[in-house]
Amino acid sequence: MLQGWIQIALTLILVIATTPFLGRYIARVFLGERTLLDSVLNPFERIIFLLSGVRPEDEMTGWQYAKAVLYSNLAMAILVFIIFMTQGFLPLNPTELKAPTWDLALHTTLSFLTNTDQQHYSGETTYSYASQTFALGFLMFTSAATGLAVGIAFIRGLTGRGLGNFYSDLTKAITRILLPMSVVGGLLLIMAGVPETLDGVATATTLEGATQAISRGPVAHYEIIKQIGENGGGFFGINSAHPFENPNGFSNLLATWAMISIPSAFIYTYGVFSNNLKQAWLVFWMVFIIFVFLVVITAIGEYQGNPLVNSLLGSQQTNLEGKEVRFGWAQTALWAVMTTATMCGAVNGMHDSLMPPGGFSTLSNMFLQIIWGGQGTGTAYLFIYLILAVFLTGLMVGRTPEFLGRKIEKQEIVLSSVVLLVHPFAVLIPWAIVFAFPDTLSGISNPGFHGVSQVVYEYASAAANNGSGFEGLGDNTLWWNLSASVSILAGRYIPIIALLLLADGISRKQPVPMTAGTLRTDTRLFTGVTGGVILILGALTFFPVLVLGPIAEWFLISKS
């Protein structure tokens, strides 16, 4: 038991230690300051801008930035969908896979386009090397870079700067952050034993004399951007539980750190932009405390095991169902909370086999979306709660609500409300439709409260752009592919548009001088109030769903 807790603690210490270094580097990149990679990348970026006709010095308004996001994403979606539907005729298809159904191809395209990477298929038996590399791998970079660009534009607006240029931000996010980290991380994964080959299926003779087909492929480069970009879509069907994606403890540690590295650092990046590192650290520790609480209750649940099994055996047995023995209960529990907190969605164990506290934690992360949140956009959602906390506390104490020296007025509250209200609509409406027609739509493989969790997890994962699943759900059907796609699109683009308009409006406001009556937002008291607002506005919205799912399941198991 002690060893497991030490593993968790050391991983979290590594995250804390690297946060300021990476956060400051990201800030230097987007502030246009000098970095170590300038001599190599400046000429390369100038060629990209010259060929594309982009003038990085041209500032965009909120609407222009949003339209650039939508137009570029639409073009990428069309390209990738065509690759999927023609993969049977394309090279790099050693197993001669045919094109998937149109609805599965559409769902996969939209899922990877939006950084969701929800998979209603098994990678090694559905998509060719060409599709996995030139379509899915391509979107893993661009979708993560899109989130980073929007997050930076939002931070710029909050701190009184112009929003910048989307195409310039997209390019820098790839060339200066995602690509260098992926090159180093990919080489480390190859050294750890992750394959990187274009050879087809390997065959082996088993001890019984039978022939076994072993899938492989260009996995290492795919795996690292999956983690760093918070993509989560696995090359193989069982994702990071597969030994070719995650062969040992070192690869597991690298992947765990990779998925939280940028989201945690982005809060520090905000502190550099706002010249207020005190507030950045306060917000960081607020999120960290909530995160650690969820990790602890999940780990305790997995260590204590299933009470029904324990009573049959007459002793406590750690819950190892659905887990890789290479990682055990501790690293699986940490990963499960980390992957849903960062909106990565990769798994190194089956979430369907988690004890109810694990189901509670993973669902709570996707309901809140700010612990640590999506790539770039998670930090933006977090500051939406800060803006609402400023507004509410201003009303309570009779002060004009201001954030970073700029007044919070009707437009900011309306747009903030849109960001927060889209998510429950995108989750709860399709969830209710499924249970209105359970025989024809559900595909549920578990009865009772666990089945409730299965369905709500699917839509929460889609709307939060997370992509992980409880599994066991028969989700490769026309209903699930199309309904999940609607939740994916709503959960991605409506908040992005609202965030950009909100940032644009704030950036145009005249700063108000700080006085003795100004409500300071960089204090422990205000940070605590923000935590309360998150629990009231965020957690309580979905609390009835949690009661019907993991909470009820836990009471049922405990009483049996």
pLDDT tens digits, residue range 509-527? 888 777 666 677 888 888 9
pLDDT tens digits, residue range 117-159? 999 998 888 999 999 999 999 999 999 999 999 999 999 999 9
pLDDT at 396 over 80: no
Which pLDDT band, with edges at 50, 70 and 90, does 331 fall under?
A: very high
From CA 73, how far away is CA 290, in angstroms rounded?
33
| pLDDT of amino acid 291 | 96
Strands 406-407 and 211-214: unpaired
Give the pLDDT mean for 322-351.
92
| pLDDT of amino acid 466 | 92
Query: At CA 513, angle to CA 508 and CA 517, rounded to 5?
Result: 120
pLDDT tens digits, residue range 462-481? 999 998 888 777 788 899 99
pLDDT at 560 over 70: no
Which pLDDT band, with edges at 50, 70 and 90, does 400 fall under?
A: low
> For the ranges 54-68, 85-99, 529-543, which has the lowest average pLDDT?
529-543
372: preceding bond cis by omega (within 30 degrees): yes
Residue 91 DSSP one-character state: S
Which pLDDT band, with edges at 50, 70 and 90, does 250 fall under?
A: very high
Query: At CA 132, angle to CA 127 and CA 377, rounded to 5?
Result: 120
Give the pLDDT mean for 237-247.
92
Q: CA 182, 184, 186, 189: dihedral to nearest 10 degrees?
A: -140
C-beta of residue 140 within 8 angstroms of C-beta of residue 232: no
Query: Cα–Cα distances in Å, from 199 out to 5, 211, 218, 503?
Result: 40, 18, 9, 48
Single out the residue of 121, 157, 138 nearest to residue 73, CA to CA: 138
From CA 532, how far away is CA 476, in angstroms rounded?
39
pLDDT at 103 over 90: yes
Give the pLDDT mean for 210-239.
91
Tokens standing for 328? Answer: 């055990």
From CA 522, how far away is CA 279, in angstroms rounded?
4
- Pick left, alpha or beta for residue 213 (phi over 0 → left; psi -120 to 50 → alpha; otherwise beta): beta
Tokens standing for 521? Answer: 């937002």
Give the pLDDT mean for 406-423.
89
Tokens standing for 402? Answer: 């201001």
Give the pLDDT mean for 43-65.
90
Give the pLDDT mean for 436-442.
74
Query: At CA 369, angle to CA 368 and CA 374, rounded to 5?
Result: 175
Strands 202-205 and 406-407: unpaired
C-beta of residue 513 within 8 angstroms of C-beta of residue 407: no
| pLDDT of amino acid 515 | 66
From CA 288, how far away is CA 220, in angstroms rounded?
30
Q: Tell the residue number behind the tokens 């090359």, with chain if given.
A: 235
Tokens standing for 132? Answer: 């996995």
Give this prediction's pTM: 0.93
| pLDDT of amino acid 517 | 64
Contacts of 275 (CB under 8 A, 6+ apart): none
pLDDT at 20 over 90: yes
> What residue type is 483 in one-letter code?
S
Kindly state the percentage of the chain with pLDDT values over 70: 98
Q: How many residues belong to the chain?
A: 560
